[in-house]
Amino acid sequence: MEEELRGLQLGDNTQRTQQKQEQVPLHEGAATAIIPWKYCNVYANNRSPERLFLFQGQSIFIQQRLDEKVTIDQNTGNVVWDGAYLMAKFFESHIGSLQGKSCLELGAGTGLVSIVAWLLGATHVLATDLPGPHTEHVQKNTGVNARRIAQERMQEIQRHEKAVVGAEEGREDMRMRRRRNRQERTRMIELDSDNLSVAPLDWNTPVLPESVKFQGPFSYILCSEILYLPKFHRALLKTLTKFSDEHTVVLLLWKQRGLGEERFFDIACRPSTGWKVQYLERTVLDAEFQDQPYGVAQMTRIPTTSTPSSFIDSSS
């Protein structure tokens, strides 16, 4: 991470070449949407003020805060870490729909993972980070994207409904069309921007403001790149325990930087904690990153009476 942070402050030639490609102004519907991830979003120390991501065929614009110094202890959430992209991609590829589920993101940073969870239809997503500018930053990214995407989705649904009526009026192979339209409609989930909210949550004092209507337990708790500070591991585990129950699945993704990230699991695996950890194969991650040192695990609470539920069967 030291090197990545140095890159963030100073940059180097390789990154500058990649940044050049990304520094095309990004606006809604811009042609840059077809630039593959490989060329536009490679490193966490990418210094573009705005970054474009594509999920579910939808553009997500993420603002990065480049005005402040980033160190291992401060402002790490100002930029999108590759782990956030990987976790969002994992959800898109392996889960598909989160309809009817609630999600809590810890240390949300720029909010990318929460936005994608919402896009996948989660009934309620709560993105959290430290109070102050950290949550304001998440709020800005989630608010702007959710409002625009919800509006675009509504227009898409209306266009689709008009097309259905038009086709039916024309009596054009009606039975076939109806069947296809039913299938398409299930992919067209209406999105309500109110289902994506933001709140301050410090793991050292894990209490959500009273104004937060849904306080858990959550179906999923999402943790991207938050294991790099072992001094917070105990607090983090306490936070996970507070907002979960036996049905909750915690998903953790981290880069193996040798900062003691895995020590978190030594604590979590102690029988007294009541948690079960399952490491997932790296093959569940986006193909471009499978040769990189990323770890991914899911955790569930051990039920007192029955077998724990499984998020993804790593043996399959």
- Compare residues 170 and 293 and give the one whose CB is closer to ligand SAM: 293
- Compare residues 48 and 153 and give the one whose CB is closer to ligand SAM: 48
CB of 7 to ligand SAM, least distance (A): 14
Give the residue nearest to ligand SAM (CB).
77
- Compare residues 239 and 248 and give the one whose CB is closer to ligand SAM: 239
CB of 263 to ligand SAM, least distance (A): 16
CB of 166 to ligand SAM, least distance (A): 44
- Compare residues 26 and 108 and give the one whose CB is closer to ligand SAM: 108
- Compare residues 260 and 308 and give the one whose CB is closer to ligand SAM: 260
- Compare residues 200 and 217 and give the one whose CB is closer to ligand SAM: 200
CB of 39 to ligand SAM, least distance (A): 20
CB of 59 to ligand SAM, least distance (A): 18
Binding site for ligand SAM (CB under 6 A): 76-77, 80-81, 83-84, 107-110, 129-130, 134, 202-204, 224-226, 232
CB of 261 to ligand SAM, least distance (A): 11
Secondary structure (H, E, C), the chain? CHHHHHHHHHCCHHHHHHHHHHCCCCCCCCHHHHCCHHHHCCCCCCCCCEEEEEECCEEEEEECCCCCCCECCECHHHCCCHHHHHHHHHHHHHCCCCECCEEEEECCCCCHHHHHHHHCCECEEEEEECCCHHHHHHHHHHHHHHHHHHHHHHHHHHHHHHHHHHHHHCCCCHHHHHHHHHHHHHHCCCCCHHHEEEEECECCECCCCCCCCCCCCCCEEEEECCCCCHHHHHHHHHHHHHCCCCCCEEEEEEECCCCCCCHHHHHHCCHHHCEEEEECCHHHCCHHHCCCCEEEEEEEECCCCCCCCCCCCCCC
